[in-house]
Structure 1
Amino acid sequence: MTQSTLVTTSTHQRGGMKKAGVLVGLVLGALFAGFPVIWMALSSFKSNREIFESPPRIITDSFSLDSYITILTDPVKVRFFVNSYVIGLAVTVLTLVVAIFAAYAFSRYEFPFKRVLNVVVISVQAVPPITLLIPYFGLMVTLGLYNTYPGLILTYMVFTLPYAIIMLTGYFNTLPRELDEAVKVDGAGPITALWRILVPLSVPGLVSVGLYTFMIAWNEFLFALTLTRTQDMRTVPIGIQLLMGQHSYEWNEMMAMSVLGCIPILVLFLFFQRYFIGGMTAGAVKI
C-alpha cells in the first residue's frame, strides 16, 4: 500500500469519525430538548397518582383521555383557547399590515429623521417588557381598555412590531428597485407596486414574521395576567397557571392543556418551516 493511499484512507477515517461525532451530538441534543416534551405528553394520559410513582413509568397500564375530556368539555377552559386564538390572530394580522407599510417606507424612501426612527424601532425591541408592565397597566385602565381584547392586542403589538419592521425592511431591501420602477412606468402607483409586486415576492419573510408574531401573542403570560381580570378574558398560559390550586395541583390536566397549547404552534411550524427558515435568513440584514 503506497503512502498516498494510506493518507487518503486516514483522511476518510477522520472524516467518518467527525461525521459520527456530529451525528451523536445531534441525537443527544435532540433527546435533551425533546425529552421534557415527550414526558409532558405521556404524563397527560396518566392520573396524578401515576405521575409521581417511584420509579416513574414511561408507559402506564391505565392509559386515559380523561384529562383531555375534562378540558375540552369545560366551557371555561375552552374559552381560554378561544381567547388565545382571537388575540393571536388579531395581533398577527394587524402587525403584518402595519409592518408592511412601515418597512416599505424605510426600504424605498428617504425622509427626515429616517435614521432616528430606525434607532427608535431597534431600541423598543431592546427594552425588557417587564419594565413596561406598570405603565401599561395604568394606561389601559385610564383608556378603559383593561380586561378587553383591544387592550391585550395593542400591548402585544408594541413588542411584535419592531421585530416585524426590522425583518421586513431587510427583506424588501433584497428586492430590486427596478420592480417598483417597472410598475410605475405602466402607470401604477406605489401602493400597487407594494401589494401586487413586493408583497407576493415577500411571502417567505411574511410567513416568518407572522409565525414569530403569533408565537409571541400565544405564549405571552405576564401581560395577559396583569391586563385581564375575569376568566372569560384569560388566555391559555393563564389557564394552565390556574390549574395550580391552593392545596393540590391538577398535573395531568396541566400537561394535557400544555399539549393542546403546543399544537397550533407545532402545526404552523411544520407547514411553513421552509418559508420560516428562508424568511429568517433573507431578512437578517442591516436596515
Structure 2
Amino acid sequence: MTTATHPARDVRADRGPSASRRRRLIRVWLWIGTLVGAFYAGGPVLWMLTSSVKPNTEIFAYPPTFIPERFTLAAYAEILGNPEKVRFFLNSYTVAAGVVLLTLFAGIMAGYALSRFDFRFKGPLGAIIISIQAVPPITLLIPYFGLVVWLRLYDTLWALILTYMVATIPYAILMMTGYFNTIPKDLDEAVKIDGGGTFRTLWRFLVPIARPGIVSVGAYTFMVAWNEYLFALTLTQNRSNRTVPVGIQLLMGEHSFQWSEMMAMSVLGCLPVLILFLFFQRQFVGGMTAGAVKT
C-alpha cells in the first residue's frame, strides 16, 4: 500500500511546479503582448502630443526627438487665436449637438414603440433598420450629394446633421429597443392604472430609468458626428462651414505642412470625446451591455 501511493505523489509533485512554471510563462507573454499593444495604440497619440508642443522645424529634425528640445505652445495659440480655425470647432459642436438631440428623440420614440407595441410589419421594419446599418456609408455619398443639392441644403450645417442622422438613428433605435425590453411592462400598467398616458409613461418614468442607455447612444452619436470626414468634405464648400476633421486637412498646403498646428488641432479635437468618455464611462458600458441583452 505504501509503495503504491508514493509514485502517485511523486507524479503530482512533478506536475505542480511544471504547471506553475507554464502559468508564469503564459502570464509573462500576456504582459509582453499587452505592453506591445499599448505601445502600438498609444505611441502615435503620445507622438501627437509631443509634436504639438514642438516648433515645426524640430518635427522634421533627423534623428527625430521624442521629447521636445524646445517646448512651445505657439501652435495652440495660433489655433485658438484664429477666428477661422475656432469656427471649425464651433461648427463641429453645432453639428454634433444637433445630431445627438435629434437622434436621441427619434431613437427613444421608435425604441419605445418597437418595445411596447405590436403592429403590422414590425418584424420587417426591424430587419430594414438592421440592413441600413450594414450598408457602407461611402456607397451613399453620391446619392446624398444629389439629395442635398436638390433640397438646397448644400454647404450648410443642416446637410451634415441630416446626413449623419441616417447613420446614427438605426443604432439608436436598436439600442433603445433593447434597453426598453429590459424594463418590465408592469411599470407601464401601473402608471396607466394611476391615470397616466403613453407619453407620460415614456418621458416621466421610462426615460429616467433608461438613462444609461440614453447616455450610451448619445456618446456614440457624438463620436460619429464629431469624427466624420468624408461627408463633411463633400457636402460643404466654404471654410466657414467646415468642421474640425476637414479643418485639419486644410492645414496641409501645396508646398508646406503645418505639422505642429495639425497636431495641436488634433489634440484639441480629441479632448471632447475623451472627456465625454471619462465622465460617462460607467453609463456608457452599462448602456451598451444592457441594450444588447434583448433586441
Same fold (TM over 0.5): yes
**Residue 119 (structure 1) aligned with residue 123 (structure 2):** no
Q: TM-score normalised to the size of structure 1?
A: 0.95
**Residue 214 (structure 1) aligned with residue 233 (structure 2):** no
Q: CA RMSD in A?
A: 1.6
Consecutive unaligned residues in structure 1, runs of 5 or more: none
CA spacing shift, 1:18–1:104, aligned 2, 3 Å: same
Equivalent residue, structure 1, for 2:140 = 132
CA distances 1:130-180 after superposition (whole Å, capped 9, x unpaired): 111111111111111111122111111001000111111111111111111
CA distances 1:5-34 after superposition (whole Å, capped 9, x unpaired): 554554444434333332332222111100
Distance 2:224 2:231 in 1: 11
**Residue 70 (structure 1) aligned with residue 78 (structure 2):** yes
Distance 1:186 1:25 in 2: 58
Equivalent residue, structure 1, for 2:188 = 180
* Equivalent position amino acid for 1:43 in 2: S
* Equivalent position amino acid for 2:46 in 1: I
Equivalent residue, structure 2, for 1:153 = 161
| Worse-matched range after superposition: 23-32 or 246-255 | 23-32
Deviation at 1:187, TM superposition (A): 1.3
CA distances 1:177-208 after superposition (whole Å, capped 9, x unpaired): 11111111211112122112221111111111
Stretches (4+) displaced over 6 A: none
Equivalent residue, structure 2, for 1:58 = 66
SS of 2:153's equivalent in the other structure is: coil
Equivalent residue, structure 2, for 1:102 = 110
CA spacing shift, 1:185–1:20, aligned 2, 3 Å: farther
**Residue 169 (structure 1) aligned with residue 170 (structure 2):** no
> Is the radius of gyration larger for structure 1 or structure 2?
2
Distance 1:159 1:88 in 2: 13
Equivalent residue, structure 1, for 2:50 = 42
Deviation at 1:108, TM superposition (A): 0.8
Q: TM-score normalised to the size of structure 2?
A: 0.93
Count of residue pairs brought into register by the alignment: 287
Consecutive unaligned residues in structure 2, runs of 5 or more: 1-5
**Residue 249 (structure 1) aligned with residue 257 (structure 2):** yes
CA distances 1:77-119 after superposition (whole Å, capped 9, x unpaired): 0000000001101100110011000000011110011111111
CA distances 1:43-100 after superposition (whole Å, capped 9, x unpaired): 1111222112111111122110001100000000000000000110110011001100
Distance 2:228 2:113 in 1: 30
Distance 2:286 2:22 in 1: 33
CA spacing shift, 1:56–1:194, aligned 2, 3 Å: same
| Worse-matched range after superposition: 156-165 or 171-180 | 171-180
* Equivalent position amino acid for 1:201 in 2: I
